[in-house]
Amino acid sequence: MPPLLRRALVRLLEIIPVLWVVITITFLMARWVPGGPFQNERQLSPEAQKHNMEYYGLDKPLLEQYKIYLSNFLHGNLGVLYRHPDWTVNELLAKKAPVSAELGLWATLVALVAGLGAGIISASRPRSKRDYGTMGVAMVAICLPSFVLGPILLLVFGLKLQWVNVMGWNTMGDRVLPSLVLGLYYAAYIARLTRGSMLEVRTQDFTRTAQAKGCSSSRVLVVHVLRNALGPVIAYLAPTIAGLVTGSFVVESIFQIPGIGRMFVEAALNQEYQLLIGVTVLFSAILLLCNWLADLVITALNPKAAVD
Amino acid sequence: MWGDAWRRFCRHKVALASLIFLALMALMCVTGAVGVVLKMSFGFGWPYSHEEQNLALGAKLFTSGHWLGTDLLGRDLLTRLLVGGCVSLTVGFLATSMVVFIGVTYGMVAGYAGGRVDRFMMRIVDILYALPFTIFIIMLVVLLDKPVQNKLAEYHLGNWGPFCKLCLLFLAIGAFEWLNMARVVRARTLELKSLAFVEAARALGRRPWRILWHHLLPNLAGIIVIYATLSVPAVILLESFISFLGLGVQPPLTSWGDLINQGASNMELYPWLLIYPSVFFSLTLFALNFVGDGLRDALDPRADKAA
């Protein structure tokens, strides 16, 4: 088997035990805490609460509940919602995940295009006005987290200028501000990373060789420098996706987008265990897969990195 | 080493200005918070407290006595900003000290032990790295809150509730943020371990803990300071993020994230409630990042300046 394929398979198999650990930790964290999803409902008499707990098997010993949950999970059944019994977790995730995924994809696009673009612009002429200007903007973007930028942009473009809708997720126009707000921080970080990495590659001998043999400067920049400078950027993509996933909690709540993020917060507050575990496992799985992909791309680009 | 570093740091004008700004901000916040505590317990020291309401006044942009205006309940915004700042900065520094403690210990032990122990310990870090730990922090804070409050109420300590919530917040953040520190410290420990002075100490029969403490730690101080400084803004960001979602600090106590959240929900009619906290918060974050960059340039001239 070629070493790259072997590495890919081994790394993919390693994800399974990690996911199992995630399920176990989340389950223990959620179920160890006293109380339950019905405790906050004042209308329910203690008898009704007890009946509900029995009905959903929440009164069984912890180990037994864990076994039941795992076996359901392996059969692809993520459980039910205690407070909205006509919904299952599977249905809810299937309905809301696409919205979050779309938001995440747009934001990733913003982060990559704006970040790489700005990085190339500043690295093409280091220590020029252009460079300092771009990096200054990037620094500002890093210090303006989504929960500051989001409401302010909404105030200006939504309420004062009325260019976009204040909330909702219906038209293409509704996608602009949320994706921008979510992606900008990562765009700024990627810009700084690209610039630093490109400047480092520029000092290496092969760049000078390319220049000496008469490549145009833009060709040197893109083919020789950028390609070799991409490693750190790709390695950063996995944490970017992680940040986008959790960042979407805030953006979804600012722009009232019906995605998973808002649901997760409510699930935690209401002790909807099965939803909580479902969302956590979904996020972890996405993240682990992204890490796996990033590792693969880095190894393919630079086989030397696989050795250490 | 420190004298040189300080000179190099001072040459970085923006970083120096940021440091002065941060010192002033911290001083203001602490003064405000101490004033409010005095006011609440003895009735003097500060004109307002962060929870003193004046419903007749309502939300005003600027009135005599309220320089930064008041919020919907007529509470003085400047006082709330200072108290909130104190909370945010305190969480930032306490969580960072936890990050330093766990990260440095873990990284040094892994790096110095080497071999299988090192590989095992770093594999755990890799795995934790790949998890969405913000989610775990939120879960920890939200799920543990109720039992902790119940326990407190059992012992008639109910009014310590908000304080305990704060502790929970920084413990949870500290428990997950140390990974980067551990990685950096381990890498540098590996480098240092092979140097002659460590070999010499080992040949003299020094115990491993003494070598770690006396020989390695002083040489690690530079990067520890750099990464600690860089993790303060990250931690403050995380705290504000959680408070913005309404899961962190509970009213009437407040933090910058919480103030931004309240401002955002009333921004249509009272935009200053959003703008003042945002300005305070962003400027502080800006300054913290610049100080971190400046320290990195000063203490570790050969470090990669990209990230």
Q: Evaluate if residue A252 carries a pLDDT over 70.
A: yes
**Between residues B82 and B304, the one the model is more confident about:** B82
Q: Which two tokens stand for residue A53?
A: 């707990």
pLDDT, average across residues A113-118: 93
Mean confidence (pLDDT) of chain A: 83
Q: Evaluate if residue A114 carries a pLDDT over 50.
A: yes
Q: Which residues of chain B are within 8 Å of residue A152 when distances are taken between CB atoms?
A: 274-275, 278
Model confidence at B69, in pLDDT bands (50, 70, 90)?
Answer: confident
Q: Evaluate if residue B43 carries a pLDDT over 80.
A: no
Q: Does A152 touch chain B (CB under 8 A)?
A: yes
**Between residues B280 and B41, the one the model is more confident about:** B280
Can you say how many angstroms the Cα of residue B206 is from the centroid of all Cα atoms in its chain? 36
pLDDT, average across residues A9-17: 88
State residue B241's pLDDT score: 85
Q: Evaluate if residue A308 carries a pLDDT over 50.
A: no
A163 phi and psi angles, rounded to 5 deg: -80, -30
Q: Evaluate if residue B144 carries a pLDDT over 50.
A: yes
Interval A132-151: pLDDT, tens: 899 889 988 888 888 888 88
DSSP string, A32-59: HSS--TTTT-TTS-HHHHHHHHHHTTTT
pLDDT, average across residues A165-186: 84
Q: Evaluate if residue B302 carries a pLDDT over 70.
A: no
State residue B96's pLDDT score: 93
State residue B303's pLDDT score: 52
d(CA A109, CA A163): 22
d(CA B182, CA B104): 6
Q: Which residues contact B105 (CB under 8 A, 6 or more apart)?
A: none
Q: Find out whether A66 and A81 touch, Cβ atoms under 8 Å.
A: no
What is this model's ipTM? 0.78
Record: contact B247-A288, CB cut-off 8 A = no
Smallest CA–CA distance from B242 into chain A, residue: A250
Interface of B with A in 4-23 (CB under 8 A): none
Nearest neighbour of B307 by CB, restricted to A18, A147, A192: A192
Smallest CA–CA distance from B305 into chain A, residue: A196
**Which one-letter amino acid corresponds to residue A192?**
R
A72 phi and psi angles, rounded to 5 deg: -60, -40
Smallest CA–CA distance from A194 into chain B, residue: B306
Q: Find out whether B99 and B177 touch, Cβ atoms under 8 Å.
A: yes
Give the minimum alpha-carbon distance from A267 to chain B in angstroms, rounded to a whole number. Answer: 10
Q: Which residues of chain B are within 8 Å of residue A158 when distances are taken between CB atoms?
A: none
Model confidence at A38, in pLDDT bands (50, 70, 90)?
Answer: low
**Which one-letter amino acid corresponds to residue B250?**
Q
Q: Which residues of chain B are within 8 Å of residue A269 when distances are taken between CB atoms?
A: 142, 247
Q: Find out whether A76 and A91 touch, Cβ atoms under 8 Å.
A: no
Q: Find out whether A114 and A191 touch, Cβ atoms under 8 Å.
A: yes
Interval A44-74: pLDDT, tens: 677 777 777 777 777 777 888 888 888 888 8
Q: Does B272 touch chain A (CB under 8 A)?
A: no
Give the minimum alpha-carbon distance from A40 to chain B in angstroms, rounded to a whole number. Answer: 11
**Which one-letter amino acid corresponds to residue A201?**
V
Q: Does A27 touch chain B (CB under 8 A)?
A: no
Q: Evaluate if residue B304 carries a pLDDT over 50.
A: no
Record: contact A144-B282, CB cut-off 8 A = yes
Mean confidence (pLDDT) of chain B: 84
Give the minimum alpha-carbon distance from B218 to chain A in angstroms, rounded to a whole number. Answer: 28
Smallest CA–CA distance from B134 into chain A, residue: A246
Q: Evaluate if residue A40 carries a pLDDT over 70.
A: no
Q: Which residues of chain A are within 8 Å of residue B139 when distances are taken between CB atoms?
A: 26, 29-30, 268, 276, 280
Q: Find out whether B235 and B228 touch, Cβ atoms under 8 Å.
A: no
Taking alpha carbons only, the member of B133, B98, B97, B87 closest to residue B281 is: B87
Interface of A with B in 172-231 (CB under 8 A): 189, 192-193, 195-197, 199-200
A226-235, B146-155, B173-182 — most confident range:
B173-182
Model confidence at B248, in pLDDT bands (50, 70, 90)?
Answer: confident
Record: contact B240-A250, CB cut-off 8 A = no
State residue A63's pLDDT score: 85
Model confidence at A41, in pLDDT bands (50, 70, 90)?
Answer: low
